[in-house]
Structure 1
Amino acid sequence: MSSQVSVSVADFSVAVAATGKLLVDRVSFAIAPGEVLGVIGDSGAGKTVLAKALAGWLGRDLAALGGTLRVGESSIAAPQLASMARGQRTRIGFVGGDPSSALNPTLTVGKQLMERLRAARPGIGRAEGRRRIVQLLSDVRIPSPEARLEEYPFQFSGGMLQRVMIVDALLGDPDFLVADNITQPLDVTVGAQILRLVRRVAREHRTAILYLTSSPAIARDVADRLLVLDQGAVVEEGESHALLGDPAHAATRRLIAQQPGLWRNVEARPVHSHEGVMPSMAVLDVAQTYHHQRRAVKAVRQATFDVFPGENFAIVGESGCGKSTLTRILAWLEIPEKGDIELFGQSLSFLPKKQLVKLRQQFQLLLQDPFNSLPPRMTIGRMIAEPLLIHQRLGKAQLRERVLAAMAEVGLDPALHDHLALNLNGAQRQRIAIARALILSPKLIILDETLSSLDPGEQQKLLELFDRLQKKHGLTYIFISHDLAMVRRSCDRIAVMYLGEMVEVTDNQTLFSNPGHPYTRALLSAVSTLEDNPFAASEYLLEGEPPSPIDVPQGCAFRTRCPRAMEICASVSPTLDRREGAAGYTACHLNRRPPAVESPLTRGLA
């Protein structure tokens, strides 16, 4: 595929159909073949509306009022984009930020890609189509593409699914590719690979790409030029590095100020001694294996750590490392095949069912997706009240009083009590989930990528809310996240997970300034930041995917990707031991202690 087509948009406007309120206000730009144009802006600035309008995917409640899109010699008036037949006169590809909901879970990935290819190119034969799909899967660095065609979406990690969606967009040979916030739900290493892939697609296929994101750092990494969108209008534009280095508009300066720091102007988290303190949660040598079609998937191979009262503990790692499985075990939604969890000194494995139900009031789980984790036909007040209805018997007036108090505490308008959540944004929906978790006065809250779908501004507001709630109620948080900037700002200690096991556990300052494991350094090198990153991507950044949890390498599981692997790594799996000369624990032969020192794996790690 090779495109030499330029793209231009002139006076593009989109409004709410019922009220006429402008969401995109006379936006104009041009993109040359092989160029990536970035669009940055706050939540609500109009980025996603603009992206969907250009792809012809506007909902019925929105209307493209005016303007034109020109792709090469084809010019389409904005109102006609929604009814434009795909492949007619022009080719437009679209990649969104939620790959998990874009594919049919009941069909193989290969079958779905073949259907879409034949819809774009009806005359293509099956054999030629298969070769085309395999080549594109290979282009986006999906290993063993022939075999993966026969797999279902649930067998792909989030990063793999996002690559599949890029292939889906490329099947129609697009001259214009719209990518809307496609790395926000991904971990940092996969996100960095996707950004490089976007640039490679632009360069090699000469495709004009519009990349929309709320992160100035990501935009700088991927885009040649930038537009700044504020309240639907373009307020600033220019070359990426120059614009972000010397912003002229207040909206641009605000976006830059919201970008979390990792090494400069970071408030140090205190390092506490937990000697003699009983953990809120002790995770003791936990493991979990799934058996599927005679294959053993080792999702969690070994996890041991303690979480202490009042602290923020983070678990980070790439997609597919076992974080989601471990989250379900921590919330006791799954019982591990090996090991145990002690909650406030009580073993969950041996707790009678009635006592477990009672104990569940003291720990809550907040999920990632604020749109699919809340029942759509239940009022907001009823959603928040549900835990009380299950665990406590209260009168109607008392129940309403408790719910309204919880809503006020998390910043929800009490007038929403009897409304559905249909028209609320992601941040408001997460406040509902937080109120629902708080209603039972828990002591520990597990946050499973709770903030990953929100832009930096909304993240900051919710993190400040979590801080206030923690000080008021003495809460303990466990953050499961791929967002290292959020972890840097919020967490006291951090566990790094790779292929089902902990490879490093240490305090915040040590992890970001002096990490002990090569994998941790690779994660840090992949972070998109406006700062000078001390961990250069050219030296540390990883390529490809981790090994399969079905076929874990002998010895150190990281050795197949490690730039410093030694002979011992091929045969001996390192244990998680104290680092010599630095804080924390690492599972790396480079940081071995003398054999006489006892391994901490017999107990949780302080």
Structure 2
Amino acid sequence: METATQTDPVLRVEGLSVAAGERAVLSDISFDLHPREILAVIGESGSGKTVLARALASWLADPLRVTGGKILFRGKDLVKDPALARRLAGREIAYVGGNPAGALDPTMTVGAQLVEKLRAVRPDISSAEAKRKAIQLLDAVRIPAAAKRFEEYPFQYSGGMMQRAMIVDALISDPPLLIADNITQPLDVTVAAQILKLMRDLNHQFSTAVLFICSSLPVACDASDRVMVLNQGRVAEMQPPAALIRDPQSGYTRKLIAELPRLWDETTHAPAEERGAPVPVLSIRDVAKAYRIRRRGEAGLSVVQAVRNVSFDVYQGDNFGVVGESGCGKSSLMRLLTGLERPDHGEIVFDGADVGSAPASKLREMRRKFQLVLQDPYGSLPPQWPIGKILEEPLKIHGIGSAAERRERARSVMNEVGLPDGYYNHLTGGLSAGQRQRLNVARAMILEPRLLIMDETLSALDQTEQGKLLDLFERLQAQHGFTYIFISHDLTMVRRVCSRIAVMYLGEVVEVAPNERLFFDPGHPYSRALLSAAPTLEDRRYRPEDCLLEGEPPSPIDLPPGCAFASRCPHAFDRCRRENPVLVNRGGRALAACFLNEPASASLENAHA
């Protein structure tokens, strides 16, 4: 990246310290941040990254308080002048968090909320002028059909589009400082890569200084001019990315680098694929699901084709991964697999019965044998219940055991997932994100299921916590013989834990392959695009400039003829725009839906047909 402009810093932090009661959370933090510079802040959970972001945005809540130091914004100390800090927050100091789905009012259109924000900051601007600026910024962050999307509601935006909308919300007041707090962590790899490129472009276009809080060292190095490493509330070191990787100065940074999972290291341990005659635990055949929605300003209903004719088997003891971009149908498929919704057609056969057509009583019985662990470690747990009650509730629902037996089983499963026995009567409020996910896993395990479905279960955690929970999953699988389905956008996690992987695009499965085959010899251009965008410090097998996707997939409401990937594929030819390829066997139990996998003579003949 370019060297930052040598001007006076927008932000200077000198000796900043923050405490929670008597406990120090940040100690003696100092750095400068200049216009057009991106400074990444990296560290594991509990290192103080988010506390630093909130202190700079004047968003600390009790019991957190600044205990020393200065926050100089354009030379003015915000610690000494809290009233000034409050006036600047959201205007000249903008903040974007990592939970875009919960950041906007679901009852108002995205455009109305952007206009309201701008006119609150700039009351001299008319509604028409505010609307023009909002649409201009939506277009600048590459939201397709920006004028039309301006009129849509938050639920009509994909995760990547919502994150872009939140960047617009932050930038609409032309702030000189943007604090981006883990904005890429919940996103899939291609959308995250686009957001990082967008952040760099906007950083230069608007001369905005960016403080980029991040939990992934490869992402931090890709995005920034300098990387500041936090460890237990202190600065471990601060260097340009290349120097940090080449010659880390602190033992903590060396540990972070050593712990990074590898995508293309051939010594990486991945579960072996079942050989011989594997036993299917779950069989999916031609499953489809469409949703009918009413679009604002249009008559009639539109049909969103969320899942399209999906078929695959999951075998006993399998670790089966499902990957793809935001909006590709992963979560819709999860709702079908767990019986939360019924497919329009097709079969989902678990334990000899069709989940999609089972009556409610049968489905409840089946749910003892398959369980779901969700992404959100905060919203998926009732905050008013103690941990013991949360764990015992599934046993009560299914009428299992006496009160004493349920209590004993709850304590046993807490021990298995590494939660202290003393937490039994505690509320969830004091748990870290990693501990909350251990509780979610324990709640799923307590019924002793045969199948666990993990829907982005680790995406909200930093790499250290992810590693600990992956070790836990391996141990639990060895002890209990679970079969796992991992729905994820994190390819490094999938590389480590999955024996077979399905790649989804726009509701379809476009590739199914064993782990090694997918990462070293993918059969679909979309799979290569995903791999090219994965954050890593390794030398890449697939170059982003050759493979990385731009823009959004086609609308699932108005699907194009032929292959849905053709408009984004660098290898598409005429046949791709007329016919939709089906999964074909590539050998070695690998399947791909791409005409490029046909023999060369057949492909050439069809290309000229």
TM-score by length of 2: 0.94
In the alignment, does 2:278 pair up with 1:299? no
CA deviation after TM superposition for structure 1 residue 59, in Å: 1.4
Q: 1:586 to 1:89 in 2, by over 3 A?
A: closer
2:11 aligned partner: 7
Contact 1:71 1:90 in 2 (8 A): no
Select the residue among 328, 332, 335 that pairs with 1:328.
335
Provide, for residues 175-202 of structure 1, a one-character-per-residue CA deviation record: whole Å limited to 9, x for no partner: 1111111100000000001111111111
Taking the aligned partners of 1:97 and 1:149, their CA distance within structure 2 comes to 21
Taking the aligned partners of 2:251 and 2:83, their CA distance within structure 1 comes to 34
CA deviation after TM superposition for structure 1 residue 21, in Å: 1.2
In the alignment, does 2:53 pair up with 1:51? yes
Q: 1:81 to 1:516 in 2, by over 3 A?
A: farther
Structure 1: segments with no counterpart, 5+ residues: 597-606
Contact 1:578 1:593 in 2 (8 A): no
Give secondary structure in 1 for the equivalent of 2:101: helix
The aligned runs of 1:190-229 (5 Å cut-off) are 190-229=191-230
Taking the aligned partners of 1:349 and 1:229, their CA distance within structure 2 comes to 48
Contact 1:57 1:82 in 2 (8 A): no
Select the residue among 569, 578, 594 that pairs with 1:588.
594
Provide, for residues 107-136 of structure 1, a one-character-per-residue CA deviation record: whole Å limited to 9, x for no partner: 110111111111111111111111111111
Q: 1:549 to 1:266 in 2, by over 3 A?
A: farther
Provide, for residues 532-591 of structure 1, a one-character-per-residue CA deviation record: whole Å limited to 9, x for no partner: 111000111000011110011100000010000011011110001112x66500000111
Taking the aligned partners of 1:413 and 1:184, their CA distance within structure 2 comes to 28
Provide, for residues 87-115 of structure 1, a one-character-per-residue CA deviation record: whole Å limited to 9, x for no partner: 48981011111111111111110111111
In the alignment, does 2:189 pair up with 1:188? yes
Q: 1:80 to 1:405 in 2, by over 3 A?
A: farther
In the alignment, does 2:530 pair up with 1:523? yes
1:264 aligned partner: 265
Taking the aligned partners of 2:581 and 2:565, their CA distance within structure 1 comes to 10
Contact 1:96 1:181 in 2 (8 A): yes
In the alignment, does 2:453 pair up with 1:451? no
2:68 aligned partner: 66
Q: 1:186 to 1:316 in 2, by over 3 A?
A: same
CA deviation after TM superposition for structure 1 residue 443, in Å: 0.5
Select the residue among 505, 510, 519 that pairs with 2:512.
505
1:381 aligned partner: 388
Select the residue among 28, 31, 41 that pairs with 1:29.
31
Q: 1:87 to 1:330 in 2, by over 3 A?
A: same
Q: 1:501 to 1:593 in 2, by over 3 A?
A: farther
Structure 2: segments with no counterpart, 5+ residues: 295-300, 603-609
In the alignment, does 2:160 pair up with 1:159? yes
Q: 1:78 to 1:403 in 2, by over 3 A?
A: same
Contact 1:9 1:27 in 2 (8 A): yes
1:122 aligned partner: 123
1:571 aligned partner: 578
CA deviation after TM superposition for structure 1 residue 6, in Å: 2.7
2:606 aligned partner: none
Q: 1:82 to 1:24 in 2, by over 3 A?
A: farther
Give secondary structure in 2 for the equivalent of 1:78: coil
Taking the aligned partners of 2:423 and 2:120, their CA distance within structure 1 comes to 44
Provide, for residues 17-45 of structure 1, a one-character-per-residue CA deviation record: whole Å limited to 9, x for no partner: xx221111111101121011111111111
Provide, for residues 383-437 of structure 1, a one-character-per-residue CA deviation record: whole Å limited to 9, x for no partner: 0001100112422211111110011111111111111101111111111111111
Select the residue among 550, 562, 571 that pairs with 1:555.
562
Q: 1:302 to 1:79 in 2, by over 3 A?
A: farther
Q: 1:507 to 1:471 in 2, by over 3 A?
A: same
Contact 2:348 2:356 in 1 (8 A): yes
Taking the aligned partners of 1:237 and 1:183, their CA distance within structure 2 comes to 21
Provide, for residues 516-541 of structure 1, a one-character-per-residue CA deviation record: whole Å limited to 9, x for no partner: 10000000000110001110001110
2:253 aligned partner: 252
Report the AA paired with residue 586 of structure 1: A
Taking the aligned partners of 1:367 and 1:108, their CA distance within structure 2 comes to 27
CA deviation after TM superposition for structure 1 residue 77, in Å: 3.5
Q: Which deviates more, 474-483 or 339-348?
A: 339-348
1:400 aligned partner: 407
Taking the aligned partners of 1:557 and 1:454, their CA distance within structure 2 comes to 33
Contact 1:55 1:81 in 2 (8 A): no
The aligned runs of 1:533-552 (5 Å cut-off) are 533-552=540-559
Report the AA paired with residue 232 of structure 1: G
CA deviation after TM superposition for structure 1 residue 370, in Å: 0.9
CA deviation after TM superposition for structure 1 residue 359, in Å: 1.7
1:277 aligned partner: 278
CA deviation after TM superposition for structure 1 residue 345, in Å: 2.6
1:136 aligned partner: 137
When the two chains are superposed, the root-mean-square deviation of aligned CA atoms in Å is 1.9
Report the AA paired with residue 371 of structure 1: Y
CA deviation after TM superposition for structure 1 residue 266, in Å: 4.0
Taking the aligned partners of 2:452 and 2:101, their CA distance within structure 1 comes to 25
Q: 1:80 to 1:102 in 2, by over 3 A?
A: farther
Contact 1:577 1:593 in 2 (8 A): no
Give secondary structure in 2 for the equivalent of 1:190: helix
Taking the aligned partners of 2:80 and 2:448, their CA distance within structure 1 comes to 51
Give secondary structure in 2 for the equivalent of 1:280: strand
Q: 1:78 to 1:310 in 2, by over 3 A?
A: same
Report the AA paired with residue 216 of structure 1: L
CA deviation after TM superposition for structure 1 residue 478, in Å: 0.1
Q: 1:4 to 1:154 in 2, by over 3 A?
A: farther
Report the AA paired with residue 319 of structure 2: N
Contact 1:225 1:239 in 2 (8 A): yes
Q: 1:136 to 1:534 in 2, by over 3 A?
A: same
Give secondary structure in 1 for the equivalent of 2:143: coil
1:514 aligned partner: 521
Taking the aligned partners of 2:275 and 2:553, their CA distance within structure 1 comes to 34
Taking the aligned partners of 2:18 and 2:306, their CA distance within structure 1 comes to 46
Percent identity over the alignment? 51
Q: 1:20 to 1:265 in 2, by over 3 A?
A: farther
Provide, for residues 235-291 of structure 1, a one-character-per-residue CA deviation record: whole Å limited to 9, x for no partner: 211111111221010111111122211012642435435553330000111000001
CA deviation after TM superposition for structure 1 residue 85, in Å: 3.1
Give secondary structure in 1 for the equivalent of 2:39: strand
Taking the aligned partners of 1:593 and 1:327, their CA distance within structure 2 comes to 35
